[in-house]
Structure 1
Amino acid sequence: MAQHTPPVRRICPACDGFATVAVTLGGRDPRGHLRTITAHCPACQGTGAVPARRVREGAGA
């Protein structure tokens, strides 16, 4: 039987697929844990892939 290949996901050009990162704020809290915040890519909203509507819009240009 033939194997079907899944469609290739369009990786976000703004973050290269690394859509969510942990950024160190510096220092530690009183319990000794490293203080971090989570930052998401604003272009893909943290998914790592370009939405399908943006792919279709850019295809005709």
Structure 2
Amino acid sequence: MEASPWICHICDAKGSGESTACSRCYQVTCAAHLTHRSVYNPQSGLFELQPVCMACALNTEK
């Protein structure tokens, strides 16, 4: 497996290997700035846990 480098869009922390992206803005985020939120899926009618970065989580709370 190839170790691909990535940078967190919030704190500019560098990592390599598998990265995780926010399900709202689709930007790569480190584990320290990623949370899982319950998000409603209108297609299934169910709530799903999705990874959301802190920037998007703060924007939805306002």
Regarding TM over 0.5, the answer is no
Judging by fraction of residues, say which structure has more strand. 2
Q: Under TM normalisation by the shorter chain, which class is it? A: under 0.3
User: Looking at CA atoms only, which structure, 1 or 2, has the larger radius of gyration?
Assistant: 1
Q: Which has the higher contact order (CA 8 A, sep 6+)?
A: 1
TM-score if structure 1 supplies the norm length?
0.22
